[in-house]
Amino acid sequence: MAGPVQTRVRRLLDDLPPPARYAVLGAAFAGVAGAVTGLVLGLHAHVATAWAATVEVALPAAALGGVLGVVLGAGVQWSRRGRRGR
């Protein structure tokens, strides 16, 4: 059962065009994956600076995920437009 916050986020994402929706989702998932990877690498290298490694890996990962999401979302939008015309 979805809570009120989940329902609100779902509605917000549904209102976005596909490129923006995929960019948000790509940035979020890649950012979380980058943060976990950075934390593991940072803890392995030096515990006192693990937070910095988390940020250093998460931010570029989120940016890359956002860019790939825009490209994928544009492809989805383009393919849906092509089907409507037929």
* pLDDT value at residue 86: 53
E runs forming strands in the chain: none
Q: What's residue 85's pLDDT? A: 56
Is the Cβ–Cβ distance between 38 and 54 less than 8 Å?
A: yes
> For the whole model, what pTM was predicted?
0.83
Give yes or no for a contact between 21 and 37, defined as CB atoms under 8 angstroms apart. Answer: no
One digit per residue, the tens of pLDDT, for the chain of length 86 reads 778 999 999 999 999 999 999 999 999 999 999 999 999 999 999 999 999 999 999 999 999 999 999 999 999 999 988 766 55
